[in-house]
Amino acid sequence: MNFNKKEFNFQAKKIVNCLNKLGKYQWKWDTRGFIIHDCELGELLQFNNNHLNEEIYEEKDDTICQVQQKRYYFIHHILYNTSYQVPQFGVSLFDNKENKYITQLEQATTLLSQLSGIEKYNSNDPLNLFITMNEHPLIEDYYMFFIHPCGTSSSLLPIIESSLSDYLICYLSSYGPYLCCFENWLSVQHKLITENQN
């Protein structure tokens, strides 16, 4: 089965549109050809009152309210890998406490394992999953941790059987948790099926 770029774009836009209808506005389609998702995870940061400039505030009804911030800021990109003809997940990790990006692979995989609750990735993983840091193929001088696409096609083949219509949903639900991209994909899939029937 050939999962091409046109089919990826079609499914990606439908999924983002569906998520937005469900009130999940942190999902967006980038016109350069990929899905963007952002979220915060980890423990809540405790700010020192002597460093008010580090606190985050929002103004509402003439009052100032402190906005809580979690330690880690994640940016996920889901794009199409033209070489392997499959979707590919990427993530960048920013440590709000240390005010810097995480760039070391060992530190990133340890953090992903801790926050996802999934044991560290190994060669026996059924999804043939391993993570590398590479330059983003669509954004110059931007690096992310990517799930290598070499095992994606063979891993998803038993799941999707003969239909490509659920390929991207299957990919997101299978690989997303490894990069701390949590979503109720069954409810998204149900909404997509319902919309197709109407």
What averages of pLDDT result for each successive group of 10 residues across the chain (198 residues)?
88 94 93 96 70 46 60 96 94 95 92 84 61 94 93 79 80 90 85 73
Query: What is the value of pTM for the model shown?
Result: 0.83
Name which of 130, 36, 104 is nearest 74 in CA terms.
36
Q: How many angstroms separate the CA atoms of 112 and 39, rounded?
A: 13
DSSP designation for 38: E
CATH at 100: 3.30.1460.50
Q: What is the pLDDT of residue 20?
A: 93
Q: Does some domain include residue 63?
A: no
> Positive or negative CA dihedral for 74, 124, 160, 9?
positive
Q: What is the pLDDT of residue 195?
A: 76
Return the residue matching tokens 């390929």: 167
Q: Does some domain include residue 149?
A: yes
* Helix spans in 117-184 (H): 152-160, 167-175
- Which domain range does residue 12 map to? 5-43+72-197
Structure tokens at 40: 């915060």
Q: Does some domain include residue 126?
A: yes
CB 42, CB 97: distance < 8 Å: no
Q: Which residues contact 94 (CB under 8 A, 6 or more apart)?
A: 72, 73, 74, 75, 100, 101, 102
Where b means 16+ CB within 10 Å and e means fewer, 1-35 reads eebeeebbeebbebbbebbeeeeeeebebeeeebb
CB 138, CB 79: distance < 8 Å: yes
Q: Does some domain include residue 150?
A: yes
Q: What distance lies between CA 82 and its chain's CA centroid? A: 19
Q: Does some domain include residue 169?
A: yes
